[in-house]
Amino acid sequence: MKIAVNTPNGNIGKPLTKHLLDAGAELILLTRSPDKVKPFAERGAAVHEGNLSDESFVVEATRGADVLFWLTAGDYTVDDLRAQQNMMGRNAAAAITANKIARVVDLSSIGAQHDSGTGPIAGLHDVEKILEKTGAHITHLRPGFFMENYFMYVGPIASEGTVFLPLPGSTRLAMIATADIARHAADRLLDTSWTGRSVIELVGPEEVTFEDAARTIGGAIGKDVKHVQVTEDQSREAIKAMGISTGVANLMNEMHAAFAAGKVVPEGPNPVVATMTLETFAKNVFRPGFEAMTG
């Protein structure tokens, strides 16, 4: 069984690829940076270099694949992110159809049941619908808020001991580590027994407030870290300063408002509960990453 994986050097794609190789799977990797996946190539993975925005590349690179793992990589520099997400979904659909790929595991998001009002997540709703039209057996993995998102705030954490977000610190989410997402994705990709359309919602083992999350992150690095609620205007300017477009900054604000309003929640009553706690993540993942980034 050949499994095609895009974004194999990302926070999810890298551990996912390792899981699959450890299980003896034959892999096809789609990447713009083959040097970053050289260890996987040395283990036998076939590496195809190209851009996922190029439909012909996606179709050709996935030729011969029986299963596809698809992560819709967003370009945060574009003005219309939703249009770009839709284009990526159409490229994946073209490959699935042309190559008669039997099964697809699509990385989506909790909240993707809504077609609007959730910022970038609404684009993943569109991708789900685009992929379903191919007629392939498809599983949408819908994880919650990534714990790794805290790496976006290393700068202000290091300089000011703060995490700036435009939502109340009392907002609760069952945050999840990408390592847990990768493990569940690998299990699904290796399972040949399922058919039809499935949605698997993934949440962390505990709901935590953003205030508690900041304290936990701080405790792991030996620093007093606080969550500070900022205005949407302040958030927009801070996001744009990272090189992100105004359109995407507005979508991020919309997503944070949806978190605060309780809109980004599982659709079903029984989401799958992951194992890594925020405390474990903070000590074992965030702390070494923070130290490496801040010297």
According to the model, what pLDDT value does residue 213 have? 98
What average pLDDT score do residues 131-155 get?
Answer: 97
According to the model, what pLDDT value does residue 295 have? 87
Six-digit token string for 152:
């976006």
Measured in degrees and rounded to the nearest 5, phi and psi for residue 29 equal -110, 130
Six-digit token string for 134:
């191919």
What average pLDDT score do residues 97-119 get?
Answer: 98
According to the model, what pLDDT value does residue 34 have? 96
Whether residue 32 is predicted with pLDDT greater than 90 in this model: the reply is yes
According to the model, what pLDDT value does residue 78 have? 96
pLDDT band at 22 (very low <50, low <70, confident <90, very high): very high
What sign does the CA torsion over 184, 206, 232, 164 have? negative
pLDDT tens profile 256-290: 999 999 999 999 999 999 999 999 999 999 999 99
Percent of the residues in the chain that have a pLDDT greater than 90, as a whole number: 99
pLDDT band at 194 (very low <50, low <70, confident <90, very high): very high
pLDDT tens profile 147-165: 999 999 999 999 999 999 9
Whether residue 72 is predicted with pLDDT greater than 90 in this model: the reply is yes
Percent of the residues in the chain that have a pLDDT greater than 70, as a whole number: 100
> Which residues, including other chains, have CB under 8 Å from residue 138's CB and lie 6 or more apart?
103, 104, 105, 106, 131, 132, 197, 198
As a whole number of angstroms, the distance between CA 109 and CA 119 comes to: 12
Six-digit token string for 195:
């058919």
What average pLDDT score do residues 119-141 get?
Answer: 98
* Mean pLDDT estimate for the chain: 97
What average pLDDT score do residues 87-113 get?
Answer: 98
What average pLDDT score do residues 193-222 get?
Answer: 98
What average pLDDT score do residues 113-142 get?
Answer: 98
Q: Answer whether 0.85 is exceeded by the pTM.
A: yes
Whether residue 180 is predicted with pLDDT greater than 90 in this model: the reply is yes
Measured in degrees and rounded to the nearest 5, phi and psi for residue 261 equal -85, -5
What average pLDDT score do residues 231-246 get?
Answer: 95
Contact in structure between 169 and 211 (CB atoms under 8 Å):
yes
Q: DSSP secondary structure string, the chain?
A: -EEEEESTTSTTHHHHHHHHHHTT-EEEEEES-GGGGHHHHHTT-EEEE--TT-HHHHHHHTTT-SEEEEE----TTSS-HHHHHHHHHHHHHHHHHHTT--EEEEE--TTTT-SSSSTHHHHHHHHHHHHHTT--EEEEEEE--BGGGGGGGHHHHHHHSEEEESS-TT-EE--B-HHHHHHHHHHHHH--S--SEEEEEEE-SS-EEHHHHHHHHHHHHTS--EEEE--HHHHHHHHHTTT--HHHHHHHHHHHHHHHTT-SS-SSS-PEE-S--HHHHIIIIIHHHHHHHH-
What average pLDDT score do residues 166-182 get?
Answer: 97
